Amino acid sequence: MRTQVGIIGAGPSGLLLARLLHLHGIGCVIVEARSRAYCEGRIRAGVMEHDAAQMMRDAGVGERMDREGLLHHGVILRFNGRDHRIDLTGLTGKSIMVYGQHEVVKDLIAANLAAGIPILFETPDVAIHGITGPAPRIAFQNGAIDCDFIAGCDGFHGISRPAMPVQGFDRIYPFGWLGILSQSPPPHEELIYASHDNGFALASMRSPTISRLYLQVAPDEDEANWPDERIWAELQTRLGHHIVPGPILQKGVTAMRSFVAEPMQLGRLFLAGDSAHIVPPTGAKGMNLAYGDVALLARALAAYFADGSETDLAGYSSTALRRVWKAERFSWWLTSLMHRFENHTPFERRMQQAELDYITSSPTGAATLAENYVGLPML
């Protein structure tokens, strides 16, 4: 098989990259280790930045998102038992779109297959060869793809990042999130981020009848310690809103980590999305960072295939990393601000509360949060 860009991974990064390349008339093939059902069923985050939602529309895959997604103009920060609304649209003129990542994945898989882009699901033993030469190759069991470039969109545990020498920067947080998806109305029409002495809690949603709720727990927390009744009671305590319990459709503990690999390119291999960096989920930046990388990479590849120009490709890593580090900073900051740290002194807890008071009472403080939350420019 031969194509212009070989893409490893059918998550948001690989799928959106394929879509954008196709719109530029550039050929690509996606190889994916897991099944289509697995990719489409994996429950992940659900907040799209203003410009990420616009990228979906511009790429011709925004129709269901605009119909079924929930456009939000504000977000609630709760501390010391009171709600404080950040008026995202009033402060920035922008909004966010609440739409599950697995719905994004379904829409992109359908659009790519309809456009005739091969997605080789359930491909085992994927390996990368020749990235520092002119003819890279993706090899796998029973086949290979020769290409001009390889996009490593294979997530945090993929094979692309280990195929190149990178320097990793990371921070592991001393807590995790217990997340549930439940068939019950969300406690409020907007997202609530709550700082409570028992720990952080977040109320999000997927629809007016499906809630996505999270509790700060120990990083290695055993789910067995959290029978349903305990989850509902603790959400009620920390969120301070009327919580309507319902059937729990999915439950899991996520560890919290920040990680960035530098650089994001070696020769003809380019990393995008979680393969190059991860964020703790507090700022909802994971998928949005993937979109930023892919916007840049698609533009650079389009320039190369249009007139052979390699300037944008050569600048990809350093340009992408500037946006990545700003989102890393925001995610780290919001995580540090909202969670309970066991080693915090009462003084440090008061510092968190004073900063929350500042952010929610000063238009300048609120604007800083709002500008980052709705998203910094993609390009």
Instruction: Sort strands 28-31 and 119-120 into parallel, antiparallel or unpaired.
Output: parallel
Closest approach of Cβ 132 to ligand PHB, in Å?
Answer: 38
Closest approach of Cβ 217 to ligand PHB, in Å?
Answer: 15
The CA-to-CA distance between both ends of the chain, in Å, stands at 33
32 secondary structure, DSSP code = -
Interacting residues of 73 by C-beta distance below 8 A, sequence separation 6+: 87, 88, 89, 90, 95
Closest approach of Cβ 58 to ligand PHB, in Å?
Answer: 23
Among 19, 94, 212, 299, binds ligand PHB (CB under 6 A): 212
Q: Please tell me the total number of residues recorded for the chain in this structure.
A: 379
Active site residue 358: no
- The answer to whether residue 284 forms part of the interface with ligand PHB (CB under 6 A) is yes
Closest approach of Cβ 283 to ligand APR, in Å?
Answer: 11
Rounded to whole angstroms, the Cα distance separating 316 from 101 reads 25
Rounded to whole angstroms, the Cα distance separating 205 from 186 reads 6
- Contact between 48 and 66 under an 8 Å Cβ cutoff? The reply is no
Among 15, 28, 47, 287, binds ligand PHB (CB under 6 A): 47
282 binds, among ligand APR, ligand PHB, none (CB under 5 to 8 A by kind): ligand PHB
Closest approach of Cβ 72 to ligand PHB, in Å?
Answer: 10
Active site residue 129: no
Among 211, 282, 317, 319, binds ligand PHB (CB under 6 A): 282
Nearer to ligand APR, 156 or 226 (CB): 156
Active site residue 251: no
- The answer to whether residue 287 forms part of the interface with ligand PHB (CB under 6 A) is no
Q: What is the SS3 assignment for 144-187? A: EEEEEEEEECCCCCCCCHHHCCCEEEEEEEEEEEEEEEECCCCC
Nearer to ligand APR, 105 or 359 (CB): 105
Which residue among 72, 94, 277, 339 is the active-site one?
72
Nearer to ligand PHB, 47 or 126 (CB): 47
- Contact between 153 and 275 under an 8 Å Cβ cutoff? The reply is yes
Residue number closest to ligand PHB, CB atom: 204
Closest approach of Cβ 29 to ligand PHB, in Å?
Answer: 31
Backbone angles phi, psi at 315, to 5 degrees: -90, 0
12 binds, among ligand APR, ligand PHB, none (CB under 5 to 8 A by kind): ligand APR
Q: What is the DSSP string of 243-278?
A: -----EEEEEEEEEEEEEEE-SEETTEEE-GGGTEE
The letter for the amino acid at 210 is I
- The answer to whether residue 10 forms part of the interface with ligand PHB (CB under 6 A) is no
Hunting for tokens 């922008």 — which residue is that? 94
* Residue 28: both structure tokens together: 């690509």
Rounded to whole angstroms, the Cα distance separating 31 from 152 reads 10
- The answer to whether residue 9 forms part of the interface with ligand PHB (CB under 6 A) is no
Measuring CA to CA, which residue among 256, 238, 246 is closest to residue 193?
Answer: 238
6 strand-pairing partners: 29, 150
Active site residue 304: no
The letter for the amino acid at 65 is M
- Contact between 331 and 258 under an 8 Å Cβ cutoff? The reply is yes
Residues touching ligand PHB: how many (CB under 6 A)? Answer: 10
Residues at the interface with ligand APR (CB under 6 A): 8-14, 31-34, 39, 44-45, 101, 126, 153-155, 158-159, 273-274, 286-287, 290
- The answer to whether residue 46 forms part of the interface with ligand PHB (CB under 6 A) is yes
Which residue among 22, 280, 281, 339 is the active-site one?
281
Closest approach of Cβ 375 to ligand APR, in Å?
Answer: 13
287 binds, among ligand APR, ligand PHB, none (CB under 5 to 8 A by kind): ligand APR
Active site residue 281: yes
- Give catalytic residue positions: 72, 193, 281, 285, 373
Chain contacts with ligand PHB (rule: CB under 6 A): 45-47, 191, 202, 204, 212, 281-282, 284
